[in-house]
Amino acid sequence: MTHVALFLSFLIFGSTGGEIAITRGMKATGEPGRLRPKEMLQFLGRALCNGWFWAGVPLMALSFYALLLLLSWEPISFVIPASALSYVVGTIGAKYILGEQISAARWAGVVLVCAGVALVALG
């Protein structure tokens, strides 16, 4: 059971950590001027040169492999609802690491989405 808890934490913190790093990278990259092929290629080039983007990739890979291992040990009806906790962890990370302002409405929405994903996965 300890290894399940350990890999579940890898899954949740790996995915949220990776996404937060990529978000920081994208914010530093700046938004594309227009959504046209030339501007999008320039945007992609700038993003791929950002260190935060590349810090996020191995964290997301870690969470992906943790997901595969968890799915080999536990039923999907446990793994996906448990991983829905990443919505709450991600919101806490967004507030304290990215400095985003989380209003009461946004918190309520995140908690409802988290519960909804868990129920959908339980089927």
Partner 1 sequence: MATEGRLRVKTLVMVCAMVVCANVGDLMLKRAMLQIGAVQLSETGLAHAFRMTVSSGTLWVGIIFLCGFMLSYMTVLSWADYSYVMPAGAFGYALLTFFAVIFLHEAVSPRRWVGVVLICVGVLLVGQTKPRTTAVAREALA
Q: Can you give the binding site for partner 1, defined by CB under 8 A?
A: 19-20, 22-23, 26-33, 35, 39-40, 42-44, 46-47, 87, 90-91, 93-95, 98-103, 105-106, 108-123
Instruction: Decide if 53 contacts 21 (C-beta within 8 A).
Output: yes
32: burial class by Cβ within 10 Å (0-12, 13-18, 19+)? Answer: middle
**What does the block give as tokens for 103?**
């209003």
In the complex, least distance from residue 2 CB atom to partner 1, rounded to whole angstroms: 27
Which of 93, 78, 63 has the alpha carbon at shortest distance from 123? 78
Token reading at 25: 């990278």
Query: Minimum distance between the CB of residue 59 and partner 1, rounded to whole angstroms?
Result: 14
Distance in Å, CB of 94 to partner 1, minimum: 4
Nearer to partner 1 (CB atom), residue 5 or residue 44: 44
- Which residue, 5 or 119, has its beta carbon nearer to partner 1? 119
Cβ(74)–Cβ(4) under 8 Å? Answer: yes
The least CB distance from residue 33 to partner 1, in Å, is 5
* Cβ nearer to partner 1, comparing 5 with 112: 112
Residue with tokens 């409802």: 112
